[in-house]
A and B are shown apart, each in its own frame.
Chain A
């Protein structure tokens, strides 16, 4: 991976620094960022994208099919400690039918925390769509 870095790229960093800065500044405790720190964060993010993709591909099931899928990524977030911080945004998918059964069971178990249930439902709806035989 390091070889790729120093190799014949014409641009040092391909992600837009302006956007990276917007994201960094969205963190309320950050007051200012010097140019070097901004550049390094952008570059680090590129390395991170490469690493996440290659790691998930190597350890994923898509390898036989020569494909990188969502479940390879959520698997990485779950299994690899370094990538654990992604677990919340890369949740494991479950089938809608399975989820409905879970919901029903929960209801039967008691009507506690109805609000919570609703929240969960919203989240799951997002990840349930397009579930492809995982």
Chain B
């Protein structure tokens, strides 16, 4: 959960790198411009979340899913993001599937859920919950209503 206002900031180094990669070489980005873009990015996340949540609510769902986020992009007039997003989602799903299989093997050996702690950045409390949800989902959810 967000406890301090800084928790809603995105890491400056990463934001700066993304900006630099997007602009032609040698463009100077003022410090103020960087922090402004960073703030804008946080607001974008909130705006997208709220739009996506509206779609989930319309569908009487409690969990935001990929379709909700993509619909949100269209609603926000960022249609141009939809195709590249779909593309990377494909790659991401494949990657996750691979990881999950590797994990299952590992879990069998360790046979303890506590192992989660050591897994990359996914280590706060509700991550575990989320991963479980996600696993349930894998088979049925693409149709969008596993909970009902």
Interface residues, chain A, CB within 8 Å of chain B? 1-2, 4-6, 12-20, 22-27, 29-41, 43-54, 57, 65-70, 72-74, 77, 81-82, 85-86, 89-90, 130
Contacts and interface: CB of A to CB of B under 8 A. Distances in A.
Nearest to B66: A36
A44 B85 contact: yes
A25 to B, nearest CB: 6
A47 B95 contact: no
B121 A18 contact: yes
A34 B85 contact: no
Main secondary structure of the interface of B (DSSP, over half): helix
Interface residues of B, number: 76
Nearest to B35: A70
5 contacts: A15-B18, A48-B40, A49-B15, A77-B40, A85-B76
B73 A44 contact: yes
A45 B141 CA distance: 24
Chain A at the B interface: SS class: helix
A15 B37 CA distance: 14
Interface of B: 1-2, 7-8, 10-11, 14-15, 17-19, 21-24, 26-30, 32-33, 36-37, 39-50, 52-53, 57, 62-66, 68-70, 73, 76-78, 80-81, 83-85, 87-89, 91-93, 95-96, 121-124, 127, 129-131, 133-134, 137, 141
Contacts of B1: 22, 25-26
Nearest to B52: A37
B36 A70 contact: yes
Contacts of A13: 88, 92
Contact of B66 (A4, A34, A69): A34
A44 B36 CA distance: 18
B48 A34 contact: no
A36 B93 contact: yes
